[in-house]
Amino acid sequence: MNNVTKEERAFPLAYSIVLYKEAVQVENLLRAIYRPHNYYCIHVDRSSNPLVISDIRAIVRCLPNVIVASRLVDVEWGKFSETEAELVCMRDLLQKYKDWKYFINLTGQEYPLKTNLQIVRILQSFKGANDIAGVRSREYEFRTKFVFVNFRPRQKKGPPPHNITVSKGSIHITASRGYVNFLLNDRRAQDFTNWVKDTRNPDETLFTSLNHNPHLKVPGSFAGTNIEKKPFISRHKLWRNVNPQSCHGKWLRSVCVFGPGDLRELTSTIKLFANKFEWGFKPLTLQCLSEWHFNRTRDEYQGLYYFSASRYKNMPQVVHRIT
């Protein structure tokens, strides 16, 4: 299918893909989300098997709008290196490509639940609003009250700079170009980025806190009062502690690795992407989802299916966005 609509071409997207293993799974993901007018940055963990890195570089050589991150980070769970890998790709995409509208970060174990045209229509309806999850609860304050060394609290930490109220969220985001520019270049954002580096799980603090402090005037951020009530559409992800009976695949570190029994929900949700899938685990899951996604894309281009994003335009993050 070579058809790409004018609507899509006028609204280019930027993606980061962070991976550690399974270059073949990333190739499968790219096949679904690739468009010649979008932009893609792939970050391969510095400690990955050299064959994985060489495979990714081989893929990138074939696609002029796909780059390998300019610096590869040795990513460790729960530490700032997780966020650092994202920031490297964000900066590469912001500096190299001048016309993309939104940034979406992915891992190699995710897959789209919407076509490119559908994602474009949804984000057009967002009118610059970000989709970044956030909650505020005393339950999570411990993570940022202390300096952590190897996950152990060592000493009490001073308050965050610039009167920022900390929230907890997800590393998965869909953010406007204005948000990304603020995150990377505004002095207050830089100060806060440095402040979170020695906290616990800074990936769940940085993006969300910048999005939920209206006095910062971050483009596309949330100015409403109840951050917990707004929906989060960037990711369909099941947690064991929330609903232990909801997964039809297997649990891995309390996150569902989807199986065929999850396909009905995956193909009917309003969310954009699903996390997570394992290459080789119940392969029918990704095979069926890939075929469904291809067929939906084909039907749209042939005029057999029309998607309306009207249900998204009145979501709280859109209504209460900072412009």
Contact 195, 155 (CB under 8 A): no
Contact 210, 190 (CB under 8 A): no
Contact 318, 125 (CB under 8 A): yes
How far apart CA 106 and CA 19 sit, in angstroms, is 9
Amino acid at 141: E
Which residue out of 204, 278, 291, 300 is catalytically annotated? 204
Contact 18, 108 (CB under 8 A): yes
Q: Are strands 255-257 and 250-252 parallel, antiparallel or unpaired?
A: antiparallel
How far apart CA 222 and CA 129 sit, in angstroms, is 8
List strands edge to edge, sheet with 66-68: 66-68, 39-44, 13-19, 102-107, 174-176
Q: Is 76 a catalytic residue?
A: no
Q: Which residues are catalytic?
A: 204
